[in-house]
Chain A
Amino acid sequence: MESIIERINQGKLWHFHGGIHPPEQKAITSGKPIKHLPLPKQLILPLQQHIGRQGDLLVNVGDKVLKGQALTQSYNPMAVPVHAPTSGTISAIKKSVIAHPSGLSELCLFIDVDGEDTWKAREICQDFTKLNRQQIIKKIADAGIAGMGGAGFPTHIKVNTKPDINFLIINAAECEPYITADDLLMCEQSEAIVDGIKILDQLLNPAFILIGIEDNKPQAIKALQQATKHIEKIKVCVLATKYPTGGEKQLIKILTGKEVHSATLPINSGIVMQNVATCFAISDAVINDIPLIRRVVTLTGSAFSKPQNVWALLGTQVSYLLDQAGFVSEVGEPTSSLNSAQPSPPVIMGGPLMGFSILNEQVPIVKTSNCILAPSKVEMPSAFDNNSNEVECIRCGQCADVCPSQLLPQELQWSAKAKDHQQLMQLNLFDCIDCGACAYVCPSQIPLVQYYRVAKAEIRQQQQLDIKAEKAKARFEARKLRLGQEKIARQEKHEKAAAARKATMNKKSADGGTASSAVAAALARVKAKKAAENKSTELSATSSEKSDNNEQVENSPVKAAIARAKAKRLAKEQSSESPVTSNVVTSGHEQTEKSQVKAAIARAKAKRLAKEQNTESPVAISNAQDVKEETKTSPVTNEETQNKVVNDKKARIAAAVAKAKAKKAQEKQSSAVGKTLSKETMQETPSEKTTKTPTSANDKKARIAAAVAKAKAKAKLRIMDEAQQASTTNSEKST
């Protein structure tokens, strides 16, 4: 560390890699004093003007506020209050466009200025050396001071860390072209700045205080040297002009030869850096009890007829400043002609290399705004062309030569275009400081910084998503675990309950077993029913084939009818299982080989019969199609018909008679049949019909009756057909 000071005393400094020398253009404003502007009519104060969070509102619409009065406060250390820059009335609290590259709208306080500029009660501190640490920090925090160099980091946090501080570096480099705000401030307020530095010294107690200032500000250098003449600890270090010397990491490297390790803060290396304007604000706040309500803003560029540095109240709209400095639009119209269809030439907040073009003239000045740059087209053509001149990269490597972070911008660019995030991370994209040196020199005019910004945003978003996904996964795992445990717990509970029940049951059966005996009885009943059903099914199946049903019908027509119905259902179920081969299969199931042959013959007969029927009966002609369809589509019908025709004619006639009888009986006992068929009334209808079909073949009267019945059932049949067709196709697939 001593050697560092020796080197500095000898005037030897380190240097950082790269850097550029864009036209400085500081002479436009550096010769003129800082102008005090009349009060604007309205101020727009964004609640958040720094890195961190916004404070809680202390005022409401309609409230009268005094100059310097706090408008927000907070108990969060990362929140910085804002103050009324002058006295007036809060006219609105609403969202408005803020000074941010995104052009987003954020919550802002609108103050109607009363023009009286009445101060709140202030306490001037005569001797800050008598204040203790906490008092000073509280004063800085209450004054709403955030880093005024650009980043806007809350100052009271930066000065409230107390490891061993080796160096307090005051950044007075102001390396961006055009900007002279700090330069002028140093010339005019060097004593106040040095007071600010002394306050910081008292807080941080660093081993050395270095003021880094570029050699293009000779008057400021002289003023600072004059003001720090008697302070051994402070060294004014004059640096060669090069952009971006004023970058935090670059200035540290130049002055101390140290590098701030990637992704750490300078404080970890025992270095604290403050901007000169921040030092001035600190001295104002601690000594004069003036919160941060104004700052120096450079109004520069060829589009201004009267470029100058001005003291601008925070919240002053850009339009007001443009008017004050005589902004002449490129089209030749003065600013008064608002809302022209074509966008006006760019107005940049900040310098030409790191500033951002603002969305409209309502944007207010905030704590970090140091410059309003309105270039002419001749002066800065690239600000007008919206990056349309981009051509292919020829890997000339000039970008890598000027990169102060020693990155490889051309490789970053390829990876950014390819969205290769992994490679971007490997190339240390996040060490890029957005200084714009690469894009400035690029002969292919590639907007490199823009590519990096997009890539950085994408990577950050992806990281957020990854974190979210990780959390969701953890949540899901936890839920699964919990559900599993609950299931086990439930099972255990059930088992216990079952055991308890059993135990009580055993007890009861021992007592008399009323409950168990009742259950047993019910089970027995069910079993009996099932057995009976099975029996009847078998019977009907055999009966339909072997004409035994004659006897059965005679014996018990009702039973036979029920049996038939059941048989049909059975057949249907089977047929729906395999409708294509249903005939063969069903017969194969139910019959021996002989009966299979028989069935085949019967089928042929049935077909012929059906045809005859169609031609014979005129009534049935209209239904012929339906009958055909029936025979075709509903295998049940086939089955039935066949089964009937299997029998020789006598038997068939007998059966028909029996059926007719059975039908009557069925009607009588419909309640009984209803029990078995109630579930499938739809299926009942076709089965009835098919029962009738053979009957009609035998008996003309019956046939006519059947035809009438058919006509009636037609509607129902159609629905059935459809349903069956559906099932046929389904089962075809399955077969």
Chain B
Amino acid sequence: MAFWIASSPHNHSKAETSALMRLVIYAVLPGIFAQWYFFGWGNIIHILLAITTVLFCEFIVLSLRNKKNIRKQLFDGSAILTAILLGICLPAIAPWWISIIGAVFAVVVVKQLYGGLGHNPFNPAMAAYVMLLISFPLQMTSWQPPLALMTIDLDLANTLSVIFTDFTKEGYSVQQLRTSVDGFTMATPLDTLKTNTGLGLTVFESMENSVFGEHFSLGWEWINAAFFIGGLVLIAKKAIAWQTPLSFLLSLFICSFIAYSISPDSSASTMFHWLSGGCMLGAFFILTDPVTGATSTKGRLIVGALAGLLVYLIRTFGGYPDGIAFAVLLCNMAAPLIDQYTRPRTYGHQTKEKQGEAK
């Protein structure tokens, strides 16, 4: 009787990459819900568009690469997660082709051309976002105000109509949708703040604007809170490392706190930085992407801190209102180097300093 031969270890935790991805997708759902609540159906439509596109593209590329077991790779969740993250980032009333182009770029160029899952140096969703932002600045900055501030009722049918035809059923254009009652074009809180400080207004004066709402930024604060909760779940489930979000948020907090203490008139508050834009999404869902991030504990702390600093710098001094995507890409570039210099000390090996002492 010959026995089945296998290599040790024979037992396995039964963890799977696809299960990990599924967990992350579940964790992002509260954020999507908040987005839907405050900004309507736009992002959900974009997410669905992007998912369809990435699955199609992934299938084509995997077939071209003669990969076996395509079905398994297709539904390992990584591509779907990329599509979801991209869809979340897009302005809700951006035209349909924005999410299609972004999804194709993310999967074909950023992910598969670099070797597929696990081999891409850049976060596909963020790389695609940056590509879109640079290529189609008008469409990518057409942020719609929260539903509560809108004069036109934007239901599902209207949103679909806007996304696919650029006009609502009643014939309102995207530009008209973004215009408030008193005739001003509305932007995101970050955008508004940047424009206003550029105009010489103080932060307090800017905060008078209706987009900021009662607290920090209407709608956005709740979306960020929802992502924060999802992120905490992921950390509790050990799906993501806690080091990156912690050091990122701390770093952003410290940077904004220093600026706010020095010059409260021209600097936004720490909480504003935390709860506006893509801060929490970036902290818990983008920066923690294991493929493109650092792998060592120290490395993750460094990457998080670096990202926080970069986000603050880009938001404050850069040409774009939010800097998460750029900061993430820059950190992706730095991650391999950071990893190389933050290797842990192996058991039974002395650190270099100790070796020096011994000598």
Contacts and interface: CB of A to CB of B under 8 A. Distances in A.
Interface of A: 16-17, 20, 22-23, 101, 103, 177, 249, 253, 259-264, 319, 335, 338-340, 343-348, 350, 352-361, 373, 375, 380-387, 391-398, 400, 404-408, 410-411, 427-428, 431, 434, 436-437, 439-445, 447, 449-450, 453
B177 to A, nearest CB: 40
Nearest to A16: B347
B357 interface: no
Given A346-B3, A346-B4, A346-B6, A249 B347 contact: yes
A397 B290 contact: yes
Among B2, B19, B344, the one with the most A-chain Cβ atoms within 10 Å of its Cβ is B2
B119 A408 contact: no
B348 A259 contact: yes
Contact of A428 (B3, B4, B290, B349): B349
Interface in B1-31: 1-17, 19-20
B295 A408 contact: yes
B237 to A, nearest CB: 12
A320 B347 CA distance: 42
A23 B13 CA distance: 9
Contacts of B291: 394-395
B138 interface: no
A382 B345 CA distance: 31
Nearest to A382: B12
B343 interface: yes
B344 A20 contact: no
A357 B346 contact: no
B117 interface: yes
B296 to A, nearest CB: 7
Contact of B5 (A16, A261, A346, A352): A346
19 contacts: A17-B347, A22-B11, A262-B346, A344-B3, A346-B5, A346-B6, A347-B3, A350-B8, A357-B4, A357-B10, A360-B2, A391-B73, A392-B117, A394-B78, A395-B293, A397-B295, A427-B343, A434-B8, A442-B12
Contacts of A407: 346
Given A391-B76, A392-B118, A400-B344, 10 more contacts: A103-B5, A262-B348, A264-B348, A357-B8, A359-B5, A391-B17, A394-B78, A400-B295, A427-B343, A434-B8
Interface of B: 1-17, 19-20, 72-73, 76, 78, 116-119, 241, 290-291, 293, 295-296, 343-350
Contacts of A355: 8, 10
A352 B4 contact: no
B346 A352 contact: no
Contacts of A347: 3
Contacts of B348: 249, 259-264, 405, 431
A182 B13 CA distance: 25
A625 B78 CA distance: 84
B295 A382 contact: no
A450 to B, nearest CB: 4
Contacts of B73: 391
Most buried by B among A22, A396, A428: A396
A177 B348 CA distance: 26
A404 B295 contact: no
B347 A253 contact: yes
A189 to B, nearest CB: 29
A386 B16 CA distance: 16
B11 A380 contact: yes
Which of B6, B78, B118 has the most chain A CB atoms inside 10 A of its CB? B6
Contacts of B16: 443, 445
Given A340-B1, A406-B346, A449 B10 contact: no
Contacts of B5: 103, 343, 346, 357, 359, 386
Interface of B is mostly: loop
A353 B8 contact: yes
Nearest to A247: B347
A410 B346 contact: no
A590 B77 CA distance: 94
Given A335-B1, A344-B1, A375-B10, A431 B347 contact: yes
A354 B11 CA distance: 10
A360 B343 CA distance: 43
A304 to B, nearest CB: 14
Contacts of A23: 11
Given A344-B2, A392-B116, A259 B9 contact: no
A448 to B, nearest CB: 9
A566 B318 CA distance: 101
A345 B290 contact: no
A395 B290 contact: yes
Contacts of A339: 1
Nearest to B345: A406
Contacts of B296: 397, 400, 408
Contacts of B118: 392-395, 444
Contacts of A343: 2-5
B241 A397 contact: yes
A298 to B, nearest CB: 15
Contacts of B6: 346, 357, 382-387
B15 A442 contact: yes
A340 B1 CA distance: 6
Most buried by B among A259, A335, A449: A259
Contact of B12 (A398, A434, A445): A445
B4 A384 contact: yes
Nearest to A22: B11
A344 B4 CA distance: 6
Contact of A394 (B14, B290, B349): B290
Contacts of A345: 3-4
Contacts of A439: 9, 12
Given A383-B11, A439-B12, A392 B3 contact: no
B12 A440 contact: yes
A449 B1 contact: no
Contacts of A434: 8
A484 B355 CA distance: 47
A344 B2 CA distance: 6
A375 B14 CA distance: 15
A387 B12 CA distance: 11
Given A408-B344, A431-B348, A354 B9 contact: yes
Contact of A177 (B11, B116, B347, B349): B11
A436 B3 contact: no
B4 A405 contact: no
B193 to A, nearest CB: 36
Contacts of A259: 347-348
Contacts of A397: 241, 290, 295-296
B117 A394 contact: yes
B304 to A, nearest CB: 14
Contacts of A22: 11, 13
Given A261-B348, A441-B15, A444-B17, A380 B119 contact: no
B13 A440 contact: yes
A355 B6 CA distance: 10
A405 B347 contact: yes
Nearest to B73: A391
Nearest to B7: A450
B19 A447 contact: no
A98 to B, nearest CB: 15
Contacts of A260: 348
B1 A361 contact: yes
Contact of B9 (A340, A391, A449): A449
Q: Which of A264, A391, A405 has the most CB of B within 10 A?
A: A391
Contacts of B350: 261
Nearest to B340: A411
Contacts of A427: 343
Contact of B2 (A348, A359, A395, A405): A359
A656 B347 CA distance: 105
Contacts of A444: 17, 118
Nearest to A374: B3
A407 B349 CA distance: 11
Contacts of A177: 11
